[in-house]
Chains A and B, each alone.
Chain A
Amino acid sequence: MSSEFAFVLTLVTVISAATPLLLAALGELVTERSGVLNLGVEGMMLAGAVSGFAVTVSTGSVALGVLAAALAGMLMAFVFGVLTLSLMANQVATGLALTIFGIGLSSLIGAGFVGIPVTPLPKLHIPVISSLPVVGPLLFSHDALIYLSIALTVGVAWFLKRTRWGMVLRAVGESDESAHSIGYNVIAVRYLAVVFGGFASGLAGAFLSLSYTPMWIEHMTAGRGWIALALVVFSSWRPLRLLFGAYLFGGVTILQLYAQGAGIGVPAQIMSMLPYVATIIVLTVIAAGPWRARLDAPACLGKPFRPAT
């Protein structure tokens, strides 16, 4: 096997490891930019993973499965929204409770789906182009959710920076009182942002159960929701830097597996520590470096808002 080819395969593996992190974190980024902290990503991902799997198996349509996953994530997020935005429950605790709830609910729903195979999400194959060396497998042989994750990242970046509604969303997250006094409905904006977070987490779950490892087993997210939360912080709430963060984390995770496979003789526990340590170091370098500007969280993050009437 040529080394060039092996390199491409490695990158393809990195892409699939990074995609669920990217999708879930992207949703959370939008949620947090509106000033809401939802720690229930893991629970929403699981709801998406099990719904996507169950619907795909039951209907035979993977498209319906992905749709169901997105809806399940949105529904979970909506519950979170009702509790935190309408009833003003504490966001941190409610998010954690949502995770406990999601783990339980997903295994309840999924009990009948363990041990069943599923036809995975098809890889999009473009004649000629997909067969090109290097660029073919690297860029033109993935499934729709991978392309969607990239498109969504660019879309969110554009939305936040260039559109009026993106500006409103940021205003709501930075200063809810002023956004309210200008006449924007803070709570409505936050609901939309929270539900978008659920949508993206649901897709991340669908990616796990329909593409990455096409199966349903209990708690198959194995902590990826938490990593996604950390990556939002890593990105300083900016989509393009999030893309970098997700690929960095996914990349180091995969590279340490390759290093182990090559037999370099370092204890496996130390190798497994690398992605976490690398993320901390890179964030510190960014924070200490010349790009210092704007590392702060959205000013209203985690704070409840009730318009004074």
Chain B
Amino acid sequence: MLPRIERRRELDHRMFYLSPVLAVALTIVTGFLLFLAMGYDPLQGVFHFFVSPLLSGYGLAELGLKAGPLILIGVGLALGFRANVWNIGAEGQLTMGAVAGGGIALALWGVDGFWVLPLMCLAGILGGMAYAAIPAFLKARFDVNEILTSLMLTYVATLFLSMLVYGPWRDPMGFNFPQSRMFTESAILPVVLAGTRLHLGVIVALLVAVTGWVLMTRTIIGFQIRVVGQAPAAAAFAGFSRTRMIWLTLMTSGGLAGLAGLFEVAGPIGQLIPVITPGYGFTAIIVAFLGRLNPLGIIPAGLIMALSYIGGENAQVEVGTPQAMTGVFQGMLLFFLLASDFLVRYRIRLQAPGTPAAARAEAPAE
């Protein structure tokens, strides 16, 4: 009568939706105990971490603002991860997109025209793609592992941006501080919800997620990506080009990361500064997997991740917890979320095998 773990024949759809809820519940319980142990009011702690950011229109807009880049980058990365292409340098591609698009904004400083912003977006995408082309080329041509190249290039991109804003792109009226001029009106993304910072880029991110889903599930390219990832031998047999997949997925993820970078500088930042991302390129990797590499799943995953950051700030402001504690809390939330996937794919039985499936136990115990 020992509990047995069995692989489910197909995904349990109830669990598919239930398990994240269970994970959040577990985090709340553990978080409650953690706050209590550290001497903070646990009710307030949990409330400000999970609930208070959601209680106003402004708060929800901020959530969207923070989730936008995570979703945009996450969708691109998921495509690659599905095909076993490990781009972990989205952070650098984001930076290069911001450099390229922001460069256009600075070159056209003071120029009025509806075409300025689209041109910047295009430059942002191309900047990210061009930067992702380096690992793509090295992998396709010399079989150099993209984990190393894309990661190392991230540091190079940050230094490159730093060189520009400390040097030639410095605001001439800015007392030699490291920042560019503020972009002019025509180079700033329109806000879609008056009184908030929610800009057009966030809407684009959602549209990209939906498009990504259609691409993955409804098109032959999506099929090829999945086959190359899951059964490389079969893919080779079917004549799907591995090289083509490398280029396709790295260009897509690089371009989307670049666009995300441009949206940051043309959106809430409004200028080029030495560091334009608080690690979105890395966080998006978690988001991609939390969303189970499904572009639609990435939307809630991005929102949860964004909430955990904003909730962390909230807890510092309202409850006075140290920032370190929010890191611990966030880590636990992710652990539970990731582990809860287990219940989707496996079942825990208390009966000997052979008894009716209805008797299966779904308790969270191991």
Contact = CB atoms under 8 A, between A and B. Distances in A.
Direct contact of A and B (CB under 8 A): yes
Interface string A205-230: 00000000000001000000010011
Nearest to A285: B142
A104 B156 CA distance: 27
Contacts of B285: 92-93, 96
B163 interface: yes
Interface in B144-158: 144-145, 147-149, 151-153, 155-156
B144 A284 contact: yes
A288 B142 contact: yes
Contacts of B149: 280, 283
Nearest to A292: B143
Interface string B191-230: 0000000000000000000000000000000000000000
A287 B148 contact: no
Interface string B326-338: 1111111011001
Given A104-B325, A108-B324, A284-B142, A230 B147 contact: yes
A283 B148 contact: yes
Interface in A180-233: 218, 226, 229-230, 233
Contacts of A86: 366
Contact of A89 (B145, B323, B339): B339
Contacts of B330: 97, 100-101, 104
Interface stretch (B43-51, B106-114, B340-348, B354-362): B340-348
B324 A276 contact: no
B32 interface: no
Contacts of B148: 230, 233-234, 279-280, 283
- Listed residue (A101, A104, A218) with the most chain B CB atoms within 10 angstroms of its CB: A104
A283 B285 CA distance: 24
Interface residues of B, number: 51
B144 A287 contact: yes
Interface string A261-275: 000000101101100
A107 B324 contact: yes
B244 interface: no
Contacts of B289: 90, 92-93
A13 B160 CA distance: 27
Interface residues of A, number: 48
Given A92-B289, A233-B147, A269 B341 contact: no
B322 interface: yes
B188 to A, nearest CB: 28
Nearest to A102: B331
A103 B155 contact: no
Contacts, number: 145
Contacts of B345: 88
Main secondary structure of the interface of B (DSSP, over half): helix
A97 B338 contact: yes
A107 B282 CA distance: 21
A132 interface: no
A94 B341 CA distance: 12
A277 B328 contact: no
B10 to A, nearest CB: 16
A284 B138 contact: yes
A103 B163 contact: no
B316 interface: no
A92 B342 CA distance: 15
Contacts of B329: 104
Nearest to B137: A284
A96 B332 contact: no
Contact of B335 (A101, A106, A108, A308): A101
B325 to A, nearest CB: 6
A273 B155 contact: yes
Nearest to A80: B335
B147 to A, nearest CB: 5
B162 interface: yes
Contact of B331 (A100, A233, A295): A100
A88 B325 CA distance: 26
Contacts of A279: 148, 152
Given A93-B286, A230-B151, A233-B145, A273 B159 contact: yes
6 contacts: A93-B338, A104-B326, A105-B327, A230-B147, A295-B143, A306-B346
Given A105-B331, A297-B145, 16 more contacts: A92-B289, A93-B334, A94-B335, A96-B286, A96-B334, A97-B331, A97-B335, A101-B331, A104-B330, A105-B328, A111-B324, A269-B159, A273-B155, A284-B138, A287-B138, A306-B7
Closest 7 pairs (CB-CB, A-B): A104-B327, A101-B331, A97-B334, A93-B289, A89-B338, A107-B324, A104-B328
